[in-house]
A and B are shown apart, each in its own frame.
Chain A
């Protein structure tokens, strides 16, 4: 089993006894990533795709090598299909403003799940309003699990797009993307997947998943902030007009007009975040070196431990699938993992996120009280207000963890919760 203490040593910010349980918001960065970014600026910084001097060639090489690494990381058939953005949110906007603008019209229907982060909801809501299209919500059951049968009942001849998360940022629930994509494709529509939460925790293969767009950000998977990725099918990207204009996305400009650069640069206007891209490649190296198999085993063990620990506390409500994965299902997972060659996704049903509410302590008060003991959790609506309304709560407390967290971190969390309950008892 993975040793979190060794992992922790890679993360300089975790030295001060910080119990960081807000990894869903952003992960901390290992020295390997920090150094890669610093080294890029120390040794290779220059503008990419411009200069013909050695330094510019070096920077361009690092930038494009990183793109190839990202393609491999998510099982994309070609690096041409990897578009760098600032973050996942910009990625969804890119798709809505290009493919969405061109292909969605009056009376068309867009399905979004109730689990969505605002980033994969609001761009579609705006587009629907503008185009007089209809936004249809795919509701989960009360545990937060999406049923493909429910989706079946929502699909009409008007459907153009399904926007769905791969892993809920509130519940950790992993969704049936592959099954949904099959139905949606039969109806002649496309699927846009939010992989911001899944990419850091489970192996991704976009071809196996058979989605049309897969969007994620670097900063939740140990990479710097300010770098995101849109993967799109080459045929779709070819047939789509660019998003922003200027800089690298141009092939030729005359007084009469402009022609667009090839993929993927057609969608990358202006000087890109090369340092961020290099950092993302270093983060992928970091993950690959440990391996998803080890990471998933460890995170699942922590999830089980955390759920077991928290559910014993009085007056607590845990959200998400209530079943703690039993030893037998853990063994089943081990079997699945042993069969896994490292490229398949969608095995674990839930990622390392525990959301909960206390009967007598508001989540914001809990977060403040835990902060006094150096414990960082998130409290609020988690940019998922439609889901909060579904559960009829204004706010939820969320502890989310990763490979550098320990059982002791979750013990400190549980003690802090009990302390807060005593204060308001």
Chain B
């Protein structure tokens, strides 16, 4: 379950920090295991231009935030909403994850989805 990609991103995370001119700011958490993050999204022409995040938690949740901060750039809200749990695991190159840890893997993605849903409301 700890793919090379997970270890690499957990050790050397990309795009960590606060984005001062973000268009969307969304906190998210897994209260049961203590993973917590805030996602900052900068949009341009209805597509993601930059993603940054502040986070604490396990390696899977950290790696997932790092991976999507890279992967989501250039995608629209609709495209991002279509990314499934399986799609997220694929991005992390994880074959199999126990049900209790899946929520770690999808926390960052789900938080981004919440940010888009809230921005429409």
Do B101 and A364 touch across chains, with their CB atoms under 8 A apart?
yes
Instruction: Please give, as numbers and ranges, the residues of chain A lying within 8 Å of B59 by CB-CB distance.
Output: 361-362, 365, 424
Instruction: Please give, as numbers and ranges, the residues of chain A lying within 8 Å of B37 by CB-CB distance.
Output: none
Give complex CA distance A361, B62 in Å. 12
Task: Using CB atoms, name the residue of chain B closest to A379.
Answer: B33
Number of cross-chain contacts by CB at 8 Å? 39
Q: A368 to nearest B CB, angstroms?
A: 6
Do A424 and B10 touch across chains, with their CB atoms under 8 A apart?
yes
Instruction: Please give, as numbers and ranges, the residues of chain B lying within 8 Å of A371 by CB-CB distance.
Output: 98
27 contacts between A and B (CB under 8 A): A361-B59, A362-B59, A363-B58, A364-B58, A364-B60, A364-B101, A364-B104, A365-B2, A368-B1, A368-B2, A368-B98, A368-B101, A371-B98, A372-B1, A379-B33, A380-B33, A381-B34, A394-B34, A394-B36, A394-B56, A394-B57, A395-B33, A395-B34, A423-B7, A424-B10, A424-B11, A424-B59
Do A365 and B60 touch across chains, with their CB atoms under 8 A apart?
yes
Bitwise, A364-391 to B at CB < 8 A (1) or not (0) is 1100110110000001110000000000
Do B2 and A423 touch across chains, with their CB atoms under 8 A apart?
yes
Instruction: Please give, as numbers and ranges, the residues of chain B lying within 8 Å of A362 by CB-CB distance.
Output: 57-59
Q: List CB contacts (< 8 Å) of A404-425 with chain B.
A: 423-424
Which of A369, A381, A394 counts the most B-chain CB atoms under 10 A from its CB? A394
Which of B2, B59, B101 counts the most A-chain CB atoms under 10 A from its CB? B59
Q: B108 to nearest A CB, angstroms?
A: 15
Chain A CB within 8 A of B32 CB: yes
Instruction: Please give, as numbers and ranges, the residues of chain B lying within 8 Å of A372 by CB-CB distance.
Output: 1
Give complex CA distance A395, B104 in Å. 14
Instruction: Please give, as numbers and ranges, the residues of chain B lying within 8 Å of A364 by CB-CB distance.
Output: 33, 57-58, 60, 101, 104
Give complex CA distance A9, B15 in Å. 53
Given contacts A423-B7, A424-B7, A424-B10, is CB(A365)–CB(B58) below 8 Å? yes
Give complex CA distance A174, B101 in Å. 33
Instruction: Please give, as numbers and ranges, the residues of chain B lying within 8 Å of A368 by CB-CB distance.
Output: 1-2, 98, 101
Task: Supply 7 further A-B pairs (C-beta < 8 A) apart from A364-B57, A395-B34.
Answer: A362-B58, A362-B59, A365-B59, A368-B101, A394-B57, A395-B33, A424-B10
- A-B residue pairs, 9 tightest by C-beta: A394-B34, A362-B58, A364-B58, A365-B59, A395-B34, A365-B58, A364-B33, A380-B33, A362-B59
Task: Using CB atoms, name the residue of chain A closest to B30.
Answer: A364
Bitwise, B55-99 to A at CB < 8 A (1) or not (0) is 011111000000000000000000000000000000000000010
Give complex CA distance A371, B2 in Å. 12
Q: B66 to nearest A CB, angstroms?
A: 14
Give complex CA distance A371, B36 in Å. 24
Instruction: Please give, as numbers and ranges, the residues of chain A lying within 8 Å of B11 by CB-CB distance.
Output: 424
Given contacts A364-B101, A423-B7, A424-B59, is CB(A369)–CB(B33) below 8 Å? no
Instruction: Please give, as numbers and ranges, the residues of chain A lying within 8 Å of B56 by CB-CB distance.
Output: 394
Do B98 and A380 touch across chains, with their CB atoms under 8 A apart?
no
Give complex CA distance A369, B59 in Å. 11
Task: Using CB atoms, name the residue of chain B closest to A364.
Answer: B58
Give complex CA distance A299, B59 in Å. 33
Q: List CB contacts (< 8 Å) of B101-118 with chain A.
A: 101, 104
Task: Using CB atoms, name the residue of chain B closest to A393.
Answer: B34
Give complex CA distance A363, B60 in Å. 12
Bitwise, A344-376 to B at CB < 8 A (1) or not (0) is 000000000000000001111100110110000
Do B58 and A380 touch across chains, with their CB atoms under 8 A apart?
no
Give complex CA distance A381, B2 in Å. 23
Give complex CA distance A380, B58 in Å. 11
Q: A174 to nearest B CB, angstroms?
A: 27
Do A380 and B7 touch across chains, with their CB atoms under 8 A apart?
no
Q: B23 to nearest A CB, angstroms?
A: 29
Q: A369 to nearest B CB, angstroms?
A: 7
Given contacts A364-B104, A380-B32, is CB(A369)–CB(B58) below 8 Å? no
Instruction: Please give, as numbers and ranges, the residues of chain A lying within 8 Å of B36 by CB-CB distance.
Output: 394
Instruction: Please give, as numbers and ranges, the residues of chain B lying within 8 Å of A380 by CB-CB distance.
Output: 32-34
Q: B6 to nearest A CB, angstroms?
A: 9
Do B34 and A369 touch across chains, with their CB atoms under 8 A apart?
no
Q: List CB contacts (< 8 Å) of B34-63 with chain A.
A: 34, 36, 56-60
Give complex CA distance A380, B35 in Å. 10
Q: A396 to nearest B CB, angstroms?
A: 10
Q: A374 to nearest B CB, angstroms?
A: 14
Q: A390 to nearest B CB, angstroms?
A: 15
Instruction: Please give, as numbers and ranges, the residues of chain B lying within 8 Å of A395 by CB-CB distance.
Output: 33-34
Instruction: Please give, as numbers and ranges, the residues of chain A lying within 8 Å of B57 by CB-CB distance.
Output: 362, 364, 394
Task: Using CB atoms, name the residue of chain B closest to A369.
Answer: B2
Instruction: Please give, as numbers and ranges, the residues of chain A lying within 8 Å of B60 by CB-CB distance.
Output: 364-365
Q: List CB contacts (< 8 Å) of A51-69 with chain B.
A: none
Q: A388 to nearest B CB, angstroms?
A: 8
Q: A4 to nearest B CB, angstroms?
A: 29
Task: Using CB atoms, name the residue of chain A closest to B104.
Answer: A364
